[in-house]
Amino acid sequence: MKRLNFALKQLCQRNRDGSYATQMARARILSLIANQLPELGFRHVAVTHLKPKHIEGLIDRWQEERLAPATIKNRMAVLRWWAEKINKQNVVAKSNSHYGIPERGYLNNDSKVRSVSVQRLASVKDEHVRMSLRLQAAFGLRREEAIKFTPAIADQGELVVLKPSWTKGGRARVIPVLNDAQRDVLKAAARLVGRGSLIPPQRSYREQLRIYERHTANAGLSKLHGLRHAYAQRRYLELTGWAAPLAGGPAQAALSFVDRERDEHARRILSAELGHTRPRITRLYVG
């Protein structure tokens, strides 16, 4: 293993910020960066010697490759993480616009809603994976959250409480339990695992994730993040009284002043329930 790759791997191992998925994505991006720096002519870069010229060289390459702004922004977040861990935050400009990186577009005209029929769910052979899928659909959970879900901890009666170690970015959050269908899913999860999690005792999270991926693929299921989109659109309808724009409802611009206030209130609630810090990201889910 090359020296910089090894040093960055060690840096990741010493600083396990965020969820497992976040850590893995960060490690992959850092490995890519370590491979690209020598290709740009920056040889023998030490992990503590990150400099502005390295940042600018990488960005120039990524822009020449015509990568999506969202992809470049994700990589910039990793570069800032690296700079922070070596106490050189000023190496990377605070604003992406400093490098000519355009703002990410959050407007989306295509619904990504997915559902899992009873028949298709029954074709998933692993019972823990089936239960994780039911939790994703009922509460709009991310995949990792649904795999790590522990009913004895999460079920607080009228609320589902997600621990920071289960969530993206390590942000705890609460989701209301509003109907009998959600309550039935929680009861079924508790019957299945007792006081444990949706990861069987003999498996690690990584092993259960692979089993989840294999069994859902074998059942012909894909793009299951769309279960969160379905949850978001259901909640938007409940909160406003009309369908989300992506579900055929009125656009924000067409709403009256009073209805626009209700729309904005619903989006703030949705943002919190989905675990996002920026309400505008709800456009991806509801339009």
CA–CA distances in Å: residue 259 to residues 97, 239, 253: 34, 11, 10
Tell me: do 165 and 237 sit in the same domain.
no
* Structural domain containing residue 156: 124-219
SS (H, E, C) the chain: CCHHHHHHHHHHHHCCCCCHHHHHHHHHHHHHHHHHHHHCCCCCCCCCCCCHHHHHHHHHHHHHCCCCHHHHHHHHHHHHHHHHHCCCHHHCCCCHHHHCCCCCCCCCCCCCCCCCCHHHHHCCCCHHHHHHHHHHHHHCCCHHHHHHCCHHHHECCCEEEECHHHCHHHCCEEEECCCHHHHHHHHHHHHHHCCCCCCCCCCCHHHHHHHHHHHHHHCCCCCCCHHHHHHHHHHHHHHHCCCCHHHCCCCHHHCCHHHHHHHHHHHHHHHHHHCCCCHHHHHHHHC
Tell me: do 197 and 246 sit in the same domain.
no
Question: Under a CB-based contact definition with an 8 Å cutoff, are residues 93 and 83 in contact?
Answer: no
Identify whether 46 is part of a domain.
yes
Tell me, what's the pLDDT at 66? 79
Tell me, what's the pLDDT at 174? 96
CA 245 to mean position of chain CA atoms: 22
Tell which of 175, 200, 219 closes a domain.
Answer: 219
The residue count for the chain? 287
Burial class (CB in 10 A: 0-12, 13-18, 19+), 208: buried
- What would the pLDDT profile of 238-262 be if each residue is shown by its tens digit? 999 999 998 889 988 888 999 999 9
Identify whether 261 is part of a domain.
yes
Identify whether 39 is part of a domain.
yes
* Whole-number average pLDDT of the chain: 90
pLDDT of 105 over the 60 cut: no
Which distant-in-sequence residues (6+ apart) come within 8 Å of 17 by Cβ?
A: 23, 81, 170
Question: Under a CB-based contact definition with an 8 Å cutoff, are residues 133 and 145 in contact?
Answer: no
Tell me: do 184 and 247 sit in the same domain.
no
CA distance 261 to 265: 6
Tell me: do 28 and 83 sit in the same domain.
yes
Question: pLDDT band at 1, cuts 50/70/90?
Answer: low
Identify whether 64 is part of a domain.
yes
- What would the pLDDT profile of 39-91 be if each residue is shown by its tens digit? 988 888 999 999 999 998 899 888 878 788 888 999 999 999 999 999 999 99
Question: Under a CB-based contact definition with an 8 Å cutoff, are residues 277 and 271 in contact?
Answer: yes
Tell me: do 172 and 128 sit in the same domain.
yes
Tell which of 99, 115, 147 closes a domain.
Answer: 99
Rg (CA), the chain: 21
- What would the pLDDT profile of 151-184 be if each residue is shown by its tens digit? 999 999 999 999 999 988 788 999 999 999 999 9
Tell which of 99, 134, 162 closes a domain.
Answer: 99
Identify whether 245 is part of a domain.
yes
CA–CA distances in Å: residue 205 to residues 101, 171, 215, 262: 35, 19, 15, 40
If one counts the domains in the chain, the total is 3
Identify whether 146 is part of a domain.
yes
Identify whether 105 is part of a domain.
no
CA distance 232 to 238: 10
Identify whether 109 is part of a domain.
no
Tell me: do 15 and 63 sit in the same domain.
yes
Tell me, what's the pLDDT at 99? 80
Tell me, what's the pLDDT at 287? 86
Tell me: do 239 and 278 sit in the same domain.
yes
